[in-house]
């Protein structure tokens, strides 16, 4: 999926530590720290306050979870463009069931997660049974889901989602940071463990590196890809649960704009921790690197368009530098 000739995650050379590789692994983290130091020296009172970090950490959990959702198919060599649609569907189902139909919030969340699994299964069915490229299938299914959302919501924004959910997402805190941050972090840690230390996780990585080779080695490639789509749907729905808890409402359109930032974070994350490979911890670092830059610039009084300049610029420059380190080997996103 990513750079097939990239070094493996832990690649010390025979003679000792590969400094170049280690520098690449931690370059984004160092850049992140430099950002913090830079903004901190400019705004020591406001930027370096715990309140400021708590706000940065707490506010990006939806994006982190959505990025982790699309990371699974990316790892197995597929694109999932329906992730943001599933997020919005999930939030809207919770709003409709909880606010309009007076369901308790927990069963509403379970229905939302099941809907995510269903959309993932539909993606898997069309991509794998009919052998259609995942880009086409997930674009189509995502657009279909957008239509379903407009239909079931009658294009309305619905507010008034249970304060229990809002409480468990952003009002309750640990060390001053809303719980949503820890959910996202926990999910990233679980995915990291699965990829690094479990057989299904390693299989998914092999499938992403080369489907034919995996098949010849006895891996059930279809099952691995199907699982990645379904779990992607469930995790995207979980992002929707957090989105509903974050805003206390659901609207049929706005969450869709999170798709491109999620892909940007996934690609930026692939330049760090395990360079050349989509990886959960790298994605988390990427999201918080970006939000630190954006928060600092906005606190300095920069206009909103500067956020786009930083977001786009950081992504392209980081990936370009990463490519320079690996001597501009061609990337394969087939």
Partner 1 sequence: MPHKTSVSKLAALAATLSLGTAAPALADAMADAEALLAKHSALPEFIVPGEPFDARACMADKKVMSIPLTMTVPYGVELEKGMATAAAEVGFTFETWDNQLKIDQWIQGVSQAVAQDYDVIDLAGGINPELLGPQLSEARDAGIKISTTQLYDVTQEAVASVDASSKIDFTTAGKILAAWAYVKTEGKPNVVIIGSSDVLSSKPYTDAMEAQLAEYCPDCKARVIDVPVSEWATKIQASVQSAVLSDPGVNYILPVFDSMSQFIVPALRITGSEGAVKIASFNGTPFVLDMIREGTVDMDIGESLEWAGYTAIDNIMRMVCDLPEPQGNFVPLYIFDSANVETAGVPATYNDGYGDAYLTGFRKLWMLEE
Angle CA 256–269–176, to nearest 5 = 75
Counting contacts by CB under 8 A, is residue 46 touching partner 1?
Answer: yes
* Pairing status of strand 158-159 against strand 173-174: unpaired
Residue among 32, 69, 1 at smallest CA distance from 263:
69
Counting contacts by CB under 8 A, is residue 41 touching partner 1?
Answer: no
Minimum CB separation of residue 95 from partner 1 in Å reads 10
- Measure the CA–CA gap between 119 and 142, rounded to whole angstroms: 9
Residue in the block written with tokens 């299964």: 121
Q: Which residues in the 88-117 window bind partner 1 by CB under 8 A? A: none
Which run of H or E residues covers position 250? strand 249-250
String of contacts with partner 1 for each residue 53-92, x by CB under 8 A: -xxx-xx---------------------------------
Site size for partner 1 (CB under 8 A): 47
String of contacts with partner 1 for each residue 237-266, x by CB under 8 A: ---------xxxx-xxxxxxxx--x-----
| Nearest to partner 1 of 113, 250 (CB atom) | 250
Which run of H or E residues covers position 177? strand 177-178
Of 174, 303, 330, 334, the residue at the interface with partner 1 (CB under 8 A) is 303
Minimum CB separation of residue 26 from partner 1 in Å reads 26
Stretch that binds partner 1, among 117-125, 216-224, 301-309, 319-327 (CB under 8 A): 301-309
Render the burial of 269-283: b for 16+ CB within 10 Å, e for the rest.
Answer: bbbbbbbbbbbbbbb
Distances in Å between the Cα of 19 and the Cα atoms of 13, 25, 325, 328 are 9, 10, 12, 18
| Nearest to partner 1 of 266, 273 (CB atom) | 266
Minimum CB separation of residue 162 from partner 1 in Å reads 11
Which run of H or E residues covers position 297? helix 280-299
Helix (H, G, I), strand (E, B) or coil at 275: coil
| Nearest to partner 1 of 255, 276 (CB atom) | 255
| Nearest to partner 1 of 180, 188 (CB atom) | 180
Q: Which residues in the 141-160 window bind partner 1 by CB under 8 A? A: 150, 154-160
Q: How many CB atoms lie within 10 A of CB 104?
A: 11
Name beta bridge partners: 13.
16
- DSSP of 172-235, one letter per residue? SEETTEEHHHHHHHHHHHHHHHHHHH-HHHHHHHHHHH-HHHHHHTT--HHHHHHHHHHHHHHH
Counting contacts by CB under 8 A, is residue 286 touching partner 1?
Answer: no
Counting contacts by CB under 8 A, is residue 276 touching partner 1?
Answer: no
| Nearest to partner 1 of 137, 294 (CB atom) | 294
| Nearest to partner 1 of 1, 287 (CB atom) | 287
| Nearest to partner 1 of 55, 114 (CB atom) | 55
Length of the chain equals 334
Stretch that binds partner 1, among 13-21, 46-54, 205-213, 314-322 (CB under 8 A): 46-54
Residue in the block written with tokens 């360079």: 275
- Measure the CA–CA gap between 149 and 244, rounded to whole angstroms: 14
Stretch that binds partner 1, among 44-52, 75-83, 103-111, 112-120 (CB under 8 A): 44-52
| Nearest to partner 1 of 91, 219 (CB atom) | 91
Q: How many CB atoms lie within 10 A of CB 324?
A: 10
| Contact residues: partner 1, CB under 8 A | 43, 46-47, 49, 51-52, 54-56, 58-59, 150, 154-160, 166, 170-171, 178, 246-249, 251-258, 261, 291, 294-295, 298-301, 303-305, 307
């Amino acid at each position: 999926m990513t750079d097939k000739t990239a070094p493996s995650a832990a690649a010390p050379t025979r003679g000792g530590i590969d400094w170049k590789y280690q520098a690449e692994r931690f370059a984004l983290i160092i850049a992140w720290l430099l950002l913090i130091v830079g903004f901190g020296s400019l705004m020591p009172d406001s930027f370096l306050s715990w309140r400021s970090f708590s706000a940065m950490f707490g506010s990006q959990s939806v994006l982190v979870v959505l990025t982790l959702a699309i990371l699974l198919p990316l790892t197995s060599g597929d694109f999932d463009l329906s992730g943001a649609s599933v997020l919005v569907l999930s939030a809207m189902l919770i709003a409709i069931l909880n606010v309009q139909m007076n369901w308790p919030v927990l069963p509403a969340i379970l229905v939302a997660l099941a809907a995510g699994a269903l959309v993932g299964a539909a993606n898997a069915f069309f991509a794998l049974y009919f052998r259609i490229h995942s880009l086409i299938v997930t674009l189509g299914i995502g657009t279909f889901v957008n239509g379903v959302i407009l239909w079931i919501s009658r294009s309305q924004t619905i507010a008034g989602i249970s304060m229990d959910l809002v409480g468990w997402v952003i009002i309750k805190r640990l060390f001053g940071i809303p719980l949503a941050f820890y959910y996202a972090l926990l999910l990233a840690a679980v995915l990291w463990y699965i990829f690094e230390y479990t057989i299904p996780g390693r299989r998914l990585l092999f499938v992403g590196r080369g489907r034919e080779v995996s098949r010849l080695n006895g891996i059930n490639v279809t099952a691995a890809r199907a699982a990645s789509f379904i779990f992607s749907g469930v995790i995207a729905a979980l992002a929707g649960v957090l989105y509903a808890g974050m805003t206390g409402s659901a609207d049929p359109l706005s969450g869709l704009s999170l798709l491109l930032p999620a892909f940007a974070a996934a690609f930026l994350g692939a330049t760090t921790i395990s360079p050349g490979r989509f990886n959960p911890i790298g994605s988390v670092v990427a999201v918080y690197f970006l939000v630190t830059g954006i928060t600092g610039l906005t606190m300095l009084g920069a206009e909103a368009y500067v956020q786009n300049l930083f977001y786009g610029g950081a992504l392209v420059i980081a990936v370009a530098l990463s490519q320079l380190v690996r001597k501009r080997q061609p990337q394969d996103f087939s």
